[in-house]
Amino acid sequence: MNIIDWSETLRMELIQLEDQGVVIDSLPAHLREISGSQEELAAKCSELYQSRLNFRAVDGYPYVEPSDIVSIEKESLFHAPSAIAADRGILLDRIQGAWLGRAAGCLLGKPVEGWERGEIRGMLESYGAYPLQHYFTGRFPPQGLEPWKHVQFEQNTIENVAGMPRDDDMDYTILALKTVESFGRGFTTEHMAQMWLTYLPPFMTYTAERATYLNLCSGVGIPEAAIINNPYREWIGAQIRTDLYGYICPNDPATAARMAFQDAALSHTANGIYGAMFISAMNAAAFGLEKPEDVIRAGMDHIPQRSRLYEALNWILQVKNEEPDWEKAGDRLLDRFAHMHRVHTINNAAIVGLALLYGERDLEKTITIAVMLGLDTDCNGASAGSVIGIMNGEVGLPDKWTRPLHDKIESYIAGEGVQSISKLALRSTALASGGKA
């Protein structure tokens, strides 16, 4: 079994370096040639890592994108926590809403994860179900797509699931909960590495997480584990892991973002880290704000203002002021970020922002927009649904979307297995209120 495809690793690393402002033509010619045996390609990847301090940057590169928390905070506008009512019943309702909204959005997007917008629309239109208003059904299977898309779709339609099936988006939320329960709010990146190696199955990790896991098992320390042979370090992996920190930090986005940093820094750098901080800060801010736009801005305040992610999110806010139709806005978004991989942080975070803005605090509108735009649909549906779940609480979520979850979730995190979503909400509420469930 080839655990690492060195050809893909080298190709993706060159793309990543160009994205972060490295002059690719200045690299030695042999390092720009994606050819040779697996051993030769691995040696090229190693040489790129060893040479990283000597890379020449593009003249006038406009972005400032640090990966350490001190510099990130200097580039951001961190806020002090605001007062919030400590009523445990209200807090539980909001956190239960967060878990349910996240699971509903994840389940909705799971059958079409990785599909293009046109493929999703074409399938829905073929049986008169566009725009999307329900979980996907197996009664109308897709036609003419790659075989893996047919298999994935069939496995995850509403008829073939009983509750929330295992998904990495939900696994990492549970692992974050378990981490804070184990080490407290002051957990470190080293603690997170320990949690991964103890509770997270290695072959249930992907892209940046898989690369980091292999590094940790090879004895690579932090922070090199996030960099060596990891061209996915600005992809979406960390962004899907950090909602829980917002759940347990109501109205305190700064603390949530700092906790997200400790998690994300294990496997990601720069915008990969910022996506995690943005999502966690939004979830924390959602407890005290009424408008999705304000929630987005609160999240943006906790990432560097001179980063590509901040620029993308600010652009989405401008588009909302210019374009009343979400479909036209979505087309503009997909065109602007067409060069990015479908699981990059920036394009998918932009989709989450767009879905929140045009969803107008309605769970159905929000998660269906997030999914109909394609790309990493389960991740985007989950992230957007999480925020709306907090804003509306469980009592404000439609039974249409929560009932099919059957208050049940499956996890591959060791020791968790199949359990109730309400139990996870109780455990989270205990952390949010400083007590025990």
> How does strand 409-410 pair with strand 418-419?
antiparallel
The residue among 300, 311, 310, 225 whose CA lies nearest residue 268 is 225
Type of residue numbered 201: P
What six digits make up the tokens of 4?
A: 């690492």
The residue among 268, 186, 174 whose CA lies nearest residue 222 is 268
d(CA 391, CA 394): 9
- The owner of tokens 């050819």 is 35
Cα of first residue to Cα of last residue in the chain, in angstroms, is: 44
Q: Can you list the alpha helix ranges (DSSP code H) found in 64-163?
A: 69-74, 88-109, 117-126, 147-156
If one counts every other C-beta atom within 10 angstroms of the C-beta of residue 171, the result is: 23
d(CA 345, CA 242): 13
What six digits make up the tokens of 94?
A: 């909001």
Q: Can you list the alpha helix ranges (DSSP code H) found in 127-229?
A: 147-156, 168-183, 189-199, 207-217
d(CA 354, CA 129): 22
Contacts 24+ apart (CB under 8 A), 5-13: 6/38, 6/41, 6/42, 6/44, 6/45, 7/34, 7/38, 7/41, 9/41, 9/45, 9/229, 9/231, 10/34, 10/41, 10/44, 10/45, 10/48, 12/231, 12/232, 12/341, 13/45, 13/48, 13/231
d(CA 78, CA 56): 32
Is 362 annotated to bind a ligand? Reply is no
- Distant-in-sequence, close-in-space partners of 389: CB < 8 Å, separation ≥ 6: 94, 96, 97, 98, 99, 100, 101, 102, 363, 397
Is 376 annotated to bind a ligand? Reply is yes
Element (H, E) at 409: strand 409-410
Residues marked as binding? 376, 378
Residues marked as binding for Mg(2+)? 376, 378
